[in-house]
Amino acid sequence: MQKYQIAVLPGDGIGPEVVQEGMKVLLKLQDLDTSFTFESTTFEWNSNYYIKHGRMMPNDGLEKLKTYDAVFFGALGDKRVEEHIPVWELIMPIRKQFQQYVNLRPIKQLNGITSPLQNEEPIDFYVFRENAEGEYSNSGGRIYDQTDQAMAIQNTIITKKGVERIATYAFDYARKNEISRVVSATKSNAIIHSMKLWDDVVNEVALDYDGIELDSIYVDALAAYFVNKPHTFEVLVASNLFGDILTDLGAALVGGLGLSPSANLNPERNFPSMFEPIHGSAPDIAGKKIANPIAQIWSAALMLEHFGRDDLAAKIMHAIEAVLVNGEVLTPDLGGNASTSEVGDAIIQELDKQL
């Protein structure tokens, strides 16, 4: 029997509400399938913790997390704490220290979901977003603050190694899945140093993959293509910022943030990988019990895939799609009036039917 240790970080706002549903689904799977079991430990490292202790996690927080097979994360963000604090004191340290340099974001139109586009063909592609460097760096600074000469420098860090490993991961995925085209998001006509290095390295990586075409497209044109011809994408590789923006747009095309999961992967498995919805803590709906838990539950499916249990992940996805197609138990973001836990329960009922 396979046994996994999962660190659970529910976070703030709707984070705990949707994580609860994700855990309910995992527990149900464990009941139904005896080949899989897990133990979980919940870490309440959130904005309340920060207000109490002046830090987002204990000194040895990363050491603690390191011993787990995966981190199952909700969302962080609370108006009492400055926005950059949870990002730079918890999320970024986990992503960077655990070398989770692949941020995988499926943009997939599930059965039962209508896109705001008049698309005839289904949208189904993977975005591999560079997750450890790029535009999201804390290198830089401000001088002459509060004066007319106020000045800020924000450095983008692009390294050969960093681009090589994300591009290789994307091309490997394409090869494994017999996909013949990889799109790279660039802007090397305007960002002539960092994006040019990005292009050079992606081109170099592509040479090792016979039969897979590399298509480098400017990110502004890509935004338009996401709307005009999203069905033409299968694998897209992008820098940290470009990937972040494009995937929020992608999410909007396939049902919104409530349906969009992500995996922060350390492919070498030297450290735990982390699974989380792409949405934030959604303070506007927190506590109302109306958050859509599907992005979080889908993230649990990505975690199972990472454990090599594609079979169990497929069961979760099948159950999610059955609930969507049925259309009776949906949260308000999808036009329904069900609560977060009612959607979780409906997915569990579908799992029961399958197993």
> Per rule CB under 6 A, is residue 282 in the interface with ligand ATP?
yes
Contact (Cβ atoms closer than 8 angstroms) between residue 175 and residue 228: no
333 counts as binding ligand ATP under rule CB under 6 A: yes
Tell whether residue 212 is a contact of ligand ATP (CB under 6 A): no
280 binds ligand ATP (CB under 6 A): yes
Q: Which of 16, 22, 61, 77 is in the footprint of ligand ATP by CB under 6 A? A: 77
Query: How far apart are CB 90 and ligand ATP at their closest, in Å?
Result: 12
Tokens of 138: 């804390």
Closest CB to ligand ATP: residue number: 280
324 binds ligand ATP (CB under 6 A): no
Render the burial of 123-132: b for 16+ CB within 10 Å, e for the rest. bebbbbbbbb
281 sits near ligand ATP (criterion: CB under 6 A): yes
Instruction: State the burial class of residue 55 (Cβ atoms within 10 Å of its Cβ: 0-12, 13-18, 19+).
Output: middle
Residue placing its CB nearer to ligand ATP in the complex, 12 or 305 = 12
Interface with ligand ATP in residues 6-45 (CB under 6 A): 14, 18
User: How do beta strands 36-42 and 140-143 pair?
Assistant: unpaired
| 241 to 270: interface string for ligand ATP, x by CB under 6 A | ----------------xx------------
200, containing H or E segment: helix 194-206
Q: How far apart are CA 238 and CA 240, in angstroms?
A: 7
Q: How far is the CB of 135 from ligand ATP (least distance, A)?
A: 17
Q: What is the DSSP letter of 12?
A: S
Of these, 183, 265, 295, 320, which contacts ligand ATP (CB under 6 A)? 295
DSSP conformational letter for 259: G
Per the CB < 8 A criterion, the answer to whether 38 and 244 are in contact is: no
The residues of the shown chain that bind ligand ATP, judged by CB under 6 A, are 14, 18, 75, 77, 257-258, 279-285, 291-292, 295, 333
